[in-house]
A and B are shown apart, each in its own frame.
Chain A
Amino acid sequence: MSEQIGTVTWISGPVVRARGSRHVSMLELVEVGEERLVGEVIGLKGDIITAQVYEETSGMKPGAPMFGTGLPLSVELAPGLLKSIFDGVQRPLPLIEMQTGSFIGRGMRLDPLYRKDRWKFTPSAKVGDEVTGGAIIGIVMETETFEHRIMIPPDLSGTLSWVAPAGEYTIEEPIARLKVGKEEKELTMLQRWPVRRPRPYKSRLGVTTPLITGQRVLDTFFPVAKGGAAGIPGPFGSGKTVTQHSIAKWADAQVIVYIGCGERGNEMTEVLQEFPHLVDPRSGRPLMERTVLIANTSNMPVAAREASIYTGITIAEYYRDMGYHVALMADSTSRWAEALREVSGRLEEMPAEEGYPAYLAGRLAEFYERAGFVETTNGNQGSVSIVGAVSPPGGDFSEPVTQHTKRYIRCFWALDKSLASARHFPSINWLDSYSEYLEDVAGWWREKVGADWFAMRNHAMEILSEESRLSQIVKLVGPDALPDEERLVLETARLLREGFLQQNAMDKVDAYSSVQKQMRMLDLILHFHERGLRIVKHGAPISMIHNLPVVDTLIRMKTEVPNEELQKMDDIQKQIDEQMSRLDLEYR
């Protein structure tokens, strides 16, 4: 399938040069050396071909052959993607383990998807149907509850001349024939798509629905919309990965694509071991059944790390095209940018800021713009939401990757080292973060959860920013110098911080908060504030309010009141009223 196109002349790490054919195209997939290490053409100059190789090049010699494949780097798309774990260029890691043991060997050529599995195909189209790219011709149950919709490849259209009867087929067996002009094309469930080319859709729709993550600080304060893009920058140890894992676990998307891009091996293992045992609250099935994992850990070849992001997003778009909501986590985009920088450095390109290539911003834009809420070519609605972690060196947000990322995302979750040090998790700083989706999703909240959500959320934000102003004064003169009204603001802000913003990902009850619970919690804390303000005006001292037993109850309600027993909240409200009234009577 591949012919020799050149001979290697120069090798430096993942970058090799070869002299040979002038008919190789940019971004074509090549195989280098006798071991046939997979690579991609990234530069052409006369008869010199420059390629980045997705595997360790130790031991390679000048004079080694380079083979062309005539195809760009592509991913395989078919039933069987869910529950899988791949490396950055979609090689299946479990199969690699079976072949080379616990360590990843070189030159492994494995089909990404298992060929022998038989899938139960139920056709939904019939002979004679005029179909265009993306049209659904049948379904396969990929898991017990997940319907995988088999589509015509995006760039084909014609008349169906044969459709396979319902039955079990492998992904390589024909399931339909399509008449394209005079030609007849055989279709299988398996299709390929080049990773660097976005899959087409009919039109972009506005984003109006929030991606519910069950994380209070995200959903209530800085929501991301389905089809939106969010960035989580933070120094090490600030909880990027825990936040990403929480979103991957609880987000109300039908498919999760999780890309571990240049991160720790143990983290991927954790996901692999934990997800099969966690139950998706919506489908009742193990979380793994809606998850596709791409793992290119920090010690795996750097060029494959660069590719991993594209591999992931292409798979996400494929499920979007079926009409699903997909959430993609990329942890971390900084490592991906560093892979770009490393390859760029080996090519001796002129660097821009901090050694990064000048095209860094362009590449980031291309990636984040693949998020979106769209009408698919088959008329369904689907979305890809992107949550990208950023690892700024030294926690300095002014570095190029964070800055460029900020240009292309509309939701910014700033992680804060000092919050993390105080074990305030998720350590998302409420003053530095923002979401431009707030207005977009306010309608959904108003309709589905509560009419005054927006007002409440803003009121809580006011209290928090007021606290930040007051704490400046407290630092200088101590809290006693403040009038009691202002000290009540500090007290309520503490309730918001400890009782609402802090959320324990390890606690069974607290790990996921339904939107109803979030709203009710916020409601109670603000109710406390309002009542408190009234009795403070009547003369009740703040120290007595601080010591009310209900304060402790409010801080503990996140773990004590499960999502299903929200009626318990009414009781807490009663306690607030009673205890406040009693105090009021005493000091009136």
Chain B
Amino acid sequence: MSDMTVQGGQEVIGVSRIEGPIVIVEGAANISYDEVVEIRDSQGRLRRGRVLEVSEGNAVVQVFAGSTGLSIDGTRVRFLGDTLRVPVTEEMLGRVFDGLGNPIDGGPLPLTDKYADVNGQPINPTARVYPRDYIQTGISAIDGMNTLLRGQKLPIFSGAGMPHDQLAAQIVRQATLGAPAGEKPETSEQFAIVFAAMGVKHDVADFFRKSFMESGALTRVAMFLNLADDPPVERLVTPRAALTLAEYLAYEKQMHVLVILTDMTNYCEALRQISNIRGEVPSRKGYPGYLYSDLASMYERTGRIRTSEGSITQIPILTMPNDDITHPVPDLTGYITEGQITLGRELHLSGVYPPIAVLPSLSRLMKDGIGGPAVVVHSGDTAGGSQSRLMDKGTGKDRTRADHPHWAAQLYAAYAHMQDVRALASVIGEEELGDVDRKYLQFGRAFEREFVNQSLTENRTIEQTLDIGWRLLSILPKEELTRVSLDEIKQYYKGE
């Protein structure tokens, strides 16, 4: 870590209070809010921190590596006069970094003179390009029912013991830019993966590394690792460091970047810890009132902008404590992200992989990336020049297939109705059900076994996904299919 020292800045010897990872420094002048500090303990070991609050001559400093070994008189704090910055360069792909962006793979410091502020800056809504290009992940429950778009933030809501890591790795392996059903997707575009681990176990990090290696993507991956036994406070920086690199790659180097953040629950716990020590007024479950804004400052660093061809797509992973979707972490995440992929415990227990519970899952942007070719709108005089520029990109010309929106609505409706039937069957018994309802049960079972369920290596095209869906819908009588149009029934329905 000492490689990263920046010389200069004023130094204060001795601190006035140490409380958990927070130290209070007195007698320093000219400190700025959010400035980075270097802290040396009496043995001369170095760690870094950040100013959380300043008043005249006083600073509240958060120490990333924790305060173990710091003493009141023996601690020296150097104020570096700048906010936290990380190096950004293309060379960082294929490398492994710690949670603060320092290399830990034995390699040298990335060679660059470009250091970017980890906090980033908000994207101006007028500069964004609305996402319209879908990503084919090869996973039916995602491509068909919760389509992921380039520039979308779509978290995976999971629980302890569920295969969210496998799912994320499969998405990374298989993701390609989508093409209309029946056509081949282009593969020549520049892509990169930025992976940030917050408080996850060594095994999990290894799993991802191995998985990237197997898919031959390792040279396109930058990993930022803050593992379970690393200092928790560092976690507050890890996703920001990763996103800062992602922004550079996407908006300056025109790459399509997929960002995986795991596990956001650990991040939020670190934030809660700092907030509690500072004695802030808690809101729900002890989390600080600004948790929403804090999460948004990371999730919103997703998207596309007009001045670059590149994009950032985010897949944050979070484990819901006790599978509770109303817990503040998944709850606030769901309010910020553009949908969520929810994993279901029951499906998992019944051996379905990926155990994606389609009903509580959602992709908000899906509607704009699926269906037949979009009508390209040529802006008239009313919109002005900027508008026509912005319609050039992401026109949605590579959408899926015209029946996709109705098809998905029908599958959702049928599967939702099947849940009611299943509940009823568990009370009165399956034999007591009417013919149609029994068909629904049959449909539901087939849906879980044949549509949602697929192997870890199965990469379905969008056409295959749509066809499986129609085959399943054909189990039901035609009259039940009110969400699809009569023409679509004529074309695709295979039942009697």
- Residues of A bordering B, CB below 8 Å: 9-13, 17, 56-63, 85, 93-94, 96-97, 100-105, 235-237, 260, 262, 264-266, 268-270, 272-273, 276-277, 285-286, 288-289, 295, 297-300, 302, 335, 338, 341-342, 344-345, 348, 351, 354-355, 391, 393-396, 420-423, 474-480, 498, 506, 547, 551-552, 555-556
Interface string of B368-409 (1 = CB under 8 A from A): 100000000101001100110011000000000000010001
Taking the closest CB of chain A, its distance from the CB of B64, in whole angstroms, is: 17
Residues 177 to 230 of chain B near chain A (Cβ within 8 Å): none
Q: Is there contact, CB below 8 Å, between B283 and A355? A: yes
Whether B257 sits at the interface, judged by CB under 8 Å, is: no
Most buried by A among B34, B281, B308, B423: B281
- Chain B residue with minimal CB distance to A93? B126
Q: Is there contact, CB below 8 Å, between B307 and A102? A: yes
Residues 35 to 64 of chain B near chain A (Cβ within 8 Å): 35, 52-57
Q: Is there contact, CB below 8 Å, between A269 and B290? A: no
> Which residues in A have their C-beta under 8 angstroms from that of B307?
101-102
Q: Is there contact, CB below 8 Å, between B125 and A268? A: yes
Q: Given A102-B124, A506-B405, answer yes or no on A423-B416 (Cβ-Cβ < 8 Å).
A: yes
Q: Is there contact, CB below 8 Å, between B391 and A273? A: yes
Residues 424 to 473 of chain B near chain A (Cβ within 8 Å): 424, 427-428, 432-434
Q: Is there contact, CB below 8 Å, between A10 and B434? A: no
> Which residues in A have their C-beta under 8 angstroms from that of B386?
94
Q: Is there contact, CB below 8 Å, between A102 and B306? A: yes
Which single member of B122, B280, B284 contacts A299 (CB below 8 Å)? B122
Whether B270 sits at the interface, judged by CB under 8 Å, is: no
Question: Is the contact region of chain B dominated by helix, strand, or loop, or is it mixed?
Answer: mixed
Q: Is there contact, CB below 8 Å, between A93 and B124? A: yes
Whether B121 sits at the interface, judged by CB under 8 Å, is: yes
- Can you give 20 A-B contacts (C-beta < 8 A)? A10-B56, A11-B54, A58-B34, A93-B126, A101-B307, A102-B251, A102-B308, A264-B336, A265-B122, A266-B128, A266-B338, A285-B382, A299-B296, A335-B292, A338-B292, A338-B293, A345-B280, A354-B284, A355-B283, A391-B335
Q: Is there contact, CB below 8 Å, between A423 and B412? A: yes
| Closest 6 pairs between A and B when the two form their complex, measured CB to CB | A394-B326, A298-B296, A422-B416, A236-B334, A299-B300, A58-B34
> Which residues in A have their C-beta under 8 angstroms from that of B433?
478
The docked-state distance in angstroms from the alpha carbon of A355 to that of B275 is: 13
The docked-state distance in angstroms from the alpha carbon of A17 to that of B127 is: 34
> Which residues in A have their C-beta under 8 angstroms from that of B382?
276, 285-286, 288-289
Whether B123 sits at the interface, judged by CB under 8 Å, is: yes
Q: Is there contact, CB below 8 Å, between A478 and B424? A: yes
Interface string of B115-134 (1 = CB under 8 A from A): 00101111111111111000
Q: Is there contact, CB below 8 Å, between B130 and A345? A: no
> Which residues in A have their C-beta under 8 angstroms from that of B100?
none
The docked-state distance in angstroms from the alpha carbon of A420 to that of B293 is: 26
Whether B111 sits at the interface, judged by CB under 8 Å, is: no
> Which residues in B have their C-beta under 8 angstroms from that of A97?
124, 126-127
The docked-state distance in angstroms from the alpha carbon of A476 to that of B426 is: 10
Residues 318 to 376 of chain B near chain A (Cβ within 8 Å): 325-328, 331-332, 334-336, 338-340, 359-360, 362, 364-365, 367-368
Q: Is there contact, CB below 8 Å, between B383 and A57? A: no
> Which residues in B have their C-beta under 8 angstroms from that of A85?
125-126
The docked-state distance in angstroms from the alpha carbon of A551 to that of B479 is: 9
Which single member of B299, B305, B432 contacts A102 (CB below 8 Å)? B305
> Which residues in B have their C-beta under 8 angstroms from that of A13?
290
Q: Is there contact, CB below 8 Å, between A276 and B424? A: no
Which single member of A262, A270, A272, A421 contacts B359 (CB below 8 Å)? A421
The docked-state distance in angstroms from the alpha carbon of A345 to that of B53 is: 14
- Chain A residue with minimal CB distance to B279? A348
- Total contacting residues, chain B, CB less than 8 A: 94
Taking the closest CB of chain B, its distance from the CB of A99, in whole angstroms, is: 10
> Which residues in B have their C-beta under 8 angstroms from that of A272?
125-126
The docked-state distance in angstroms from the alpha carbon of A296 to that of B341 is: 27
The docked-state distance in angstroms from the alpha carbon of A62 to that of B326 is: 41
The docked-state distance in angstroms from the alpha carbon of A348 to that of B128 is: 37
Q: Is there contact, CB below 8 Å, between A345 and B303? A: no
The docked-state distance in angstroms from the alpha carbon of A341 to that of B368 is: 35
The docked-state distance in angstroms from the alpha carbon of A344 to that of B405 is: 45
> Which residues in B have their C-beta under 8 angstroms from that of A478?
424, 427-428, 432-433
Q: Is there contact, CB below 8 Å, between B328 and A393? A: yes
Whether B273 sits at the interface, judged by CB under 8 Å, is: no
The docked-state distance in angstroms from the alpha carbon of A260 to that of B126 is: 13
Q: Is there contact, CB below 8 Å, between B336 and A266? A: no
Q: Given A299-B300, A355-B283, answer yes or no on A498-B482 (Cβ-Cβ < 8 Å).
A: yes
Q: Is there contact, CB below 8 Å, between A93 and B360? A: no
> Which residues in A have their C-beta under 8 angstroms from that of B383?
276-277, 286, 288
Whether B289 sits at the interface, judged by CB under 8 Å, is: yes
Taking the closest CB of chain B, its distance from the CB of A85, in whole angstroms, is: 6
The docked-state distance in angstroms from the alpha carbon of A125 to that of B387 is: 39
The docked-state distance in angstroms from the alpha carbon of A348 to that of B362 is: 39
Taking the closest CB of chain B, its distance from the CB of A488, in whole angstroms, is: 16
Q: Given A102-B251, A345-B281, answer yes or no on A273-B390 (Cβ-Cβ < 8 Å).
A: yes
Given contacts A269-B128, A355-B281, A355-B289, 20 further A-B contacts (CB under 8 A): A10-B53, A11-B54, A57-B34, A58-B32, A100-B124, A103-B121, A103-B124, A103-B127, A104-B124, A236-B331, A262-B293, A265-B123, A265-B128, A266-B151, A272-B126, A277-B379, A297-B300, A298-B296, A341-B283, A345-B280
The docked-state distance in angstroms from the alpha carbon of A506 to that of B371 is: 12
Q: Is there contact, CB below 8 Å, between B482 and A556? A: yes
> Which residues in B have their C-beta under 8 angstroms from that of A300?
122
Q: Given A9-B56, A338-B292, answer yes or no on A393-B122 (Cβ-Cβ < 8 Å).
A: no
> Which residues in B have their C-beta under 8 angstroms from that of A396?
326
> Which residues in B have their C-beta under 8 angstroms from that of A268?
125
> Which residues in A have their C-beta under 8 angstroms from that of B328?
393-394
- Chain B residue with minimal CB distance to A238? B362
The docked-state distance in angstroms from the alpha carbon of A11 to that of B55 is: 6
Residues 15 to 34 of chain B near chain A (Cβ within 8 Å): 29-34
> Which residues in A have their C-beta under 8 angstroms from that of B272?
none
Whether B67 sits at the interface, judged by CB under 8 Å, is: no
Taking the closest CB of chain B, its distance from the CB of A428, in whole angstroms, is: 17
Whether B164 sits at the interface, judged by CB under 8 Å, is: no
The docked-state distance in angstroms from the alpha carbon of A355 to that of B288 is: 9
Q: Is there contact, CB below 8 Å, between A62 and B54? A: yes
Q: Given A62-B55, A391-B335, answer yes or no on A266-B482 (Cβ-Cβ < 8 Å).
A: no
The docked-state distance in angstroms from the alpha carbon of A63 to that of B33 is: 12
Q: Is there contact, CB below 8 Å, between B293 and A266? A: no
> Which residues in A have their C-beta under 8 angstroms from that of B124?
93, 96-97, 100, 102-104
Q: Is there contact, CB below 8 Å, between A354 and B127? A: no
The docked-state distance in angstroms from the alpha carbon of A277 to that of B391 is: 11
Taking the closest CB of chain A, its distance from the CB of B382, in whole angstroms, is: 5
> Which residues in A have their C-beta under 8 angstroms from that of B427?
475-478
